[in-house]
Amino acid sequence: MNDTNSHAPESGSPPRGAWLRRLKGRAQLLEPVLKVGKAGLSPELLAALDEALAQHELVKVRFEHFKERERRKQLAAEMAARTGSHLIQQVGHVAVLFRARPADPQPPGH
């Protein structure tokens, strides 16, 4: 069972405080699931990132072929904006993104 969403802040607000520290700790154990290459933020990459966020909530992405720190920073912010996720941290060539799953709707009468 994935407990990433337990005690999560409201889905629209960025993680803060203890919740942010917890996400950063969990991210250390992750391997990058996507690599941003020379093509940059292609529609295919964004679709794959969207799917990974839907499945895992917390996703690590590695930047290949981008030597400039400011360019990596810009791409990470753009990925977060275009996928409706939050940039949790960025260290070197790696960015960590988080998007909470929507709460499961209750069946009628509950």
Q: Chain-wide mean pLDDT for the chain?
A: 86
Q: Where are the beta strands (DSSP E) in the chain?
A: 34-36, 58-63, 86-91, 94-98
Confirm if 24 and 89 have CB atoms less than 8 A apart: yes
Span 96-108, average pLDDT: 77
Span 76-85, average pLDDT: 96
User: Is residue 2 in some structural domain?
Assistant: no
What pLDDT is attached to residue 45? 95
User: Is residue 47 in some structural domain?
Assistant: yes
Instruction: Answer yes or no: is pLDDT of 10 > 90.
Output: no
CATH number for position 26: 3.30.110.60
Domain count, the chain: 1
User: What's the DSSP call for residue 47?
Assistant: H
**What is the extent of the structural domain holding 22?**
17-98
What pLDDT is attached to residue 105? 57
Q: Please write the tens of the pLDDT for every residue from 35-69.
A: 999 888 999 999 999 999 999 999 999 999 888 99
Nearest alpha carbon to residue 98 among 60, 45, 70: 60
Name the pLDDT band for 5 (thresholds 50, 70, 90).
very low
